[in-house]
Amino acid sequence: MRSRWVLFAPLAIMALLFGAFIYRLSVPPRTLIESQWIDKPMPLFDLPPATEGVAGLKSSDLADGKPRLVNVFASWCIPCRAEAPQLEALHAAGVPIDGIAIRDRPDDVAAFLRENGNPFDRIGSDVQSSVQIALGSSGVPETFLVDGKGIIREQIQGVILQDDVPRIIAKLEAMK
Protein backbone atom coordinates (compact mmCIF):
# COMPACT_ATOMS: atom_id res chain seq x y z
CA MET A 1 0.00 0.00 0.00
CA ARG A 2 3.02 2.24 0.38
CA SER A 3 3.18 2.99 -3.34
CA ARG A 4 -0.31 4.51 -3.11
CA TRP A 5 1.04 7.37 -1.04
CA VAL A 6 3.72 8.12 -3.60
CA LEU A 7 0.92 9.13 -5.94
CA PHE A 8 0.10 12.01 -3.61
CA ALA A 9 3.64 13.37 -3.92
CA PRO A 10 2.85 15.66 -6.89
CA LEU A 11 -0.08 17.09 -4.94
CA ALA A 12 2.16 17.72 -1.96
CA ILE A 13 4.78 19.45 -4.12
CA MET A 14 2.04 21.58 -5.64
CA ALA A 15 0.86 22.54 -2.15
CA LEU A 16 4.39 23.69 -1.25
CA LEU A 17 4.63 25.69 -4.49
CA PHE A 18 1.28 27.35 -3.85
CA GLY A 19 2.33 28.09 -0.30
CA ALA A 20 5.25 30.09 -1.70
CA PHE A 21 2.92 31.87 -4.14
CA ILE A 22 0.43 32.79 -1.42
CA TYR A 23 3.24 34.03 0.80
CA ARG A 24 4.54 36.26 -1.97
CA LEU A 25 1.11 37.61 -2.91
CA SER A 26 0.33 38.45 0.72
CA VAL A 27 3.79 39.79 1.63
CA PRO A 28 4.88 42.08 -1.20
CA PRO A 29 8.62 41.98 -1.92
CA ARG A 30 10.79 44.47 -0.07
CA THR A 31 12.40 46.51 -2.81
CA LEU A 32 13.73 49.20 -0.48
CA ILE A 33 17.41 48.93 0.33
CA GLU A 34 18.37 50.78 3.51
CA SER A 35 21.19 53.27 3.44
CA GLN A 36 24.53 51.99 4.67
CA TRP A 37 25.12 55.36 6.39
CA ILE A 38 22.50 54.91 9.05
CA ASP A 39 23.98 55.10 12.57
CA LYS A 40 27.44 55.99 11.18
CA PRO A 41 29.20 59.30 11.99
CA MET A 42 29.54 61.97 9.31
CA PRO A 43 32.93 61.79 7.54
CA LEU A 44 35.45 64.43 8.59
CA PHE A 45 35.54 67.55 6.42
CA ASP A 46 36.16 71.27 6.60
CA LEU A 47 34.61 73.24 3.76
CA PRO A 48 35.11 76.96 3.01
CA PRO A 49 32.05 79.24 2.65
CA ALA A 50 30.21 78.76 -0.63
CA THR A 51 29.23 82.40 -0.95
CA GLU A 52 29.64 85.70 0.82
CA GLY A 53 27.66 86.26 4.02
CA VAL A 54 27.07 82.60 4.87
CA ALA A 55 29.54 80.62 7.00
CA GLY A 56 31.36 77.53 5.78
CA LEU A 57 30.74 74.05 7.16
CA LYS A 58 32.97 71.59 9.01
CA SER A 59 32.05 68.26 10.51
CA SER A 60 32.52 69.45 14.09
CA ASP A 61 29.67 71.96 13.52
CA LEU A 62 27.32 69.01 13.29
CA ALA A 63 28.07 67.75 16.81
CA ASP A 64 26.79 70.79 18.73
CA GLY A 65 23.93 68.92 20.40
CA LYS A 66 21.18 70.09 18.05
CA PRO A 67 19.66 67.58 15.59
CA ARG A 68 19.72 69.02 12.07
CA LEU A 69 19.45 68.46 8.32
CA VAL A 70 22.46 68.46 6.00
CA ASN A 71 21.29 69.20 2.48
CA VAL A 72 23.57 68.38 -0.45
CA PHE A 73 22.56 70.67 -3.31
CA ALA A 74 23.80 72.76 -6.22
CA SER A 75 22.67 75.94 -7.90
CA TRP A 76 22.74 74.18 -11.28
CA CYS A 77 20.39 71.46 -10.06
CA ILE A 78 16.79 71.85 -11.21
CA PRO A 79 15.22 69.42 -8.68
CA CYS A 80 16.92 71.48 -5.92
CA ARG A 81 14.76 74.43 -6.96
CA ALA A 82 11.70 72.21 -6.62
CA GLU A 83 12.89 71.23 -3.17
CA ALA A 84 13.46 74.81 -1.93
CA PRO A 85 9.85 75.44 -0.70
CA GLN A 86 10.00 72.32 1.49
CA LEU A 87 13.34 73.42 2.99
CA GLU A 88 11.77 76.85 3.63
CA ALA A 89 8.88 75.18 5.43
CA LEU A 90 11.28 73.12 7.56
CA HIS A 91 13.32 76.22 8.33
CA ALA A 92 10.14 78.09 9.34
CA ALA A 93 9.30 75.21 11.70
CA GLY A 94 12.62 75.79 13.44
CA VAL A 95 14.66 72.99 11.92
CA PRO A 96 18.36 73.91 11.60
CA ILE A 97 19.61 73.21 8.05
CA ASP A 98 23.19 73.19 6.80
CA GLY A 99 24.06 72.96 3.14
CA ILE A 100 26.85 71.52 1.03
CA ALA A 101 27.04 73.12 -2.43
CA ILE A 102 28.51 70.75 -4.99
CA ARG A 103 30.80 72.01 -7.79
CA ASP A 104 29.42 75.52 -7.52
CA ARG A 105 30.53 79.16 -7.99
CA PRO A 106 29.94 81.84 -5.29
CA ASP A 107 27.93 84.10 -7.64
CA ASP A 108 25.68 81.24 -8.73
CA VAL A 109 25.04 80.17 -5.13
CA ALA A 110 24.17 83.76 -4.20
CA ALA A 111 21.76 83.98 -7.14
CA PHE A 112 20.21 80.64 -6.14
CA LEU A 113 19.66 81.87 -2.58
CA ARG A 114 18.19 85.16 -3.86
CA GLU A 115 15.69 83.35 -6.05
CA ASN A 116 14.76 80.46 -3.79
CA GLY A 117 15.31 81.86 -0.30
CA ASN A 118 18.01 80.93 2.17
CA PRO A 119 17.04 78.33 4.79
CA PHE A 120 20.71 77.47 5.46
CA ASP A 121 22.66 78.33 8.64
CA ARG A 122 25.96 77.42 6.96
CA ILE A 123 26.92 76.38 3.43
CA GLY A 124 30.17 74.58 2.68
CA SER A 125 31.56 74.69 -0.85
CA ASP A 126 32.53 71.24 -2.11
CA VAL A 127 34.22 72.21 -5.36
CA GLN A 128 35.88 68.83 -5.98
CA SER A 129 32.88 66.74 -4.86
CA SER A 130 35.23 65.24 -2.26
CA VAL A 131 32.69 65.29 0.59
CA GLN A 132 29.98 64.10 -1.76
CA ILE A 133 32.18 61.15 -2.72
CA ALA A 134 33.09 60.46 0.92
CA LEU A 135 29.37 60.37 1.71
CA GLY A 136 28.71 58.05 -1.21
CA SER A 137 25.85 60.27 -2.31
CA SER A 138 24.87 59.60 -5.88
CA GLY A 139 23.47 62.96 -6.92
CA VAL A 140 21.80 66.19 -5.91
CA PRO A 141 19.70 66.87 -3.95
CA GLU A 142 20.29 64.52 -1.09
CA THR A 143 19.54 65.10 2.57
CA PHE A 144 20.94 63.60 5.76
CA LEU A 145 19.22 63.66 9.14
CA VAL A 146 22.04 64.12 11.65
CA ASP A 147 21.52 63.88 15.41
CA GLY A 148 23.22 66.22 17.92
CA LYS A 149 26.35 64.03 18.07
CA GLY A 150 27.11 64.07 14.34
CA ILE A 151 25.68 60.59 13.70
CA ILE A 152 23.62 60.08 10.52
CA ARG A 153 20.15 58.73 11.31
CA GLU A 154 18.54 58.86 7.85
CA GLN A 155 19.51 59.45 4.24
CA ILE A 156 16.96 60.85 1.81
CA GLN A 157 17.94 60.51 -1.84
CA GLY A 158 16.26 62.93 -4.20
CA VAL A 159 13.82 65.73 -3.49
CA ILE A 160 12.11 66.09 -0.10
CA LEU A 161 8.38 66.05 -0.87
CA GLN A 162 5.70 68.06 0.90
CA ASP A 163 4.37 64.90 2.52
CA ASP A 164 7.79 64.23 4.05
CA VAL A 165 7.97 67.55 5.94
CA PRO A 166 5.87 66.70 9.06
CA ARG A 167 7.60 63.31 9.40
CA ILE A 168 11.07 64.94 9.27
CA ILE A 169 10.11 67.55 11.88
CA ALA A 170 8.75 64.82 14.17
CA LYS A 171 11.81 62.65 13.73
CA LEU A 172 14.25 65.47 14.52
CA GLU A 173 12.06 66.48 17.48
CA ALA A 174 12.31 62.93 18.83
CA MET A 175 16.14 63.04 18.65
CA LYS A 176 16.41 65.97 21.02
Partner 1 sequence: MIAELGLALLWMAAALACLSLVAGVLFVRGGKSELAALVRPASIAQGVLTAASFGLLIALFARSDMSVELVARNSHSLKPMLFKIAGAWGNHEGSMLLWLTILGLSGALVALFEKRLREDTLIATLAAQAALSLGFFAFLLFSSNPFNRLPIAPPDGQGLNPLLQDPGLAFHPPTLYVGYVGLSVAFSFAVGALVTREVGPAFARAMRPWVLGSWIFLTLGITAGSYWAYYELGWGGWWFWDPVENVSLVPWLAGAALLHSVAVTATRNALRAWTVMLAVIGFSMSMVGTFIVRSGLLTSVHSFAVDPERGTFLLVLMAIYIGGALTLFALRAGTVAEGKTFALLSREGALVINNLLLTTILALVLLGTLYPIVAEAMGEKISVGPPYYNKVAGPLALILCLVMVAGPLLRWRRDDGRTLWSRLPLALFAGAAVLFALVLFGGSVGVLPLLGMTVAAIVAVASLAPLWKRNLRRTPLPVWGMVLAHFGVAVALAGMAAESAFIKERLVAAAPGETVTVADFSVRFQGVEPVAGPNYTAVKATLIAATPDGDRFVLHPAARTFPGLMGGAPTETNEAALLTRPGGQLYAVIGQPVTGADGAQRYQLRLWWKPLVWWIWLGGALIAIGAAMAMLGRAQLLAIWRARQARKREERFA
Binding residues for partner 1 (CB under 8 A): 3-4, 7-8, 10-11, 14, 17-18, 20-25, 27-31
CA-closest candidate to residue 150, choices 71, 48, 63: 63
CA 69 to chain centroid: 9
Q: Output 2 or 176, the one with its CB closest to partner 1.
A: 2
Q: How far is the CB of 22 from partner 1 (least distance, A)?
A: 7
Helices and strands, counts by H and E, the chain: 6, 7
Type of residue numbered 157: Q
User: Which one, 23 or 92, has the nearer CB to partner 1?
Assistant: 23
Three-state SS for 25?
helix
33 or 170, CB closer to partner 1? 33
Residue 12 CB, nearest distance to partner 1 (Å)? Answer: 9
- The distance of Cα 127 from the centroid of its chain, to the nearest Å, equals 21
- Least Cβ distance, residue 77 to partner 1 (angstroms): 19
Q: Which is nearer to partner 1, 4 or 114 (CB)?
A: 4
Task: Show Cβ contacts of residue 113 under 8 Å, excluding neighbours closer than 6 positions.
Answer: 51, 54, 120
Min dist. Cβ of residue 1 to partner 1 (A): 9
- Minimum Å distance from CB 117 to partner 1? 30
For residues 53 and 131, the answer to whether their CB atoms sit within 8 Å is: no
Using the minimum distance from each CB to partner 1, give the nearer residue, 27 or 92: 27
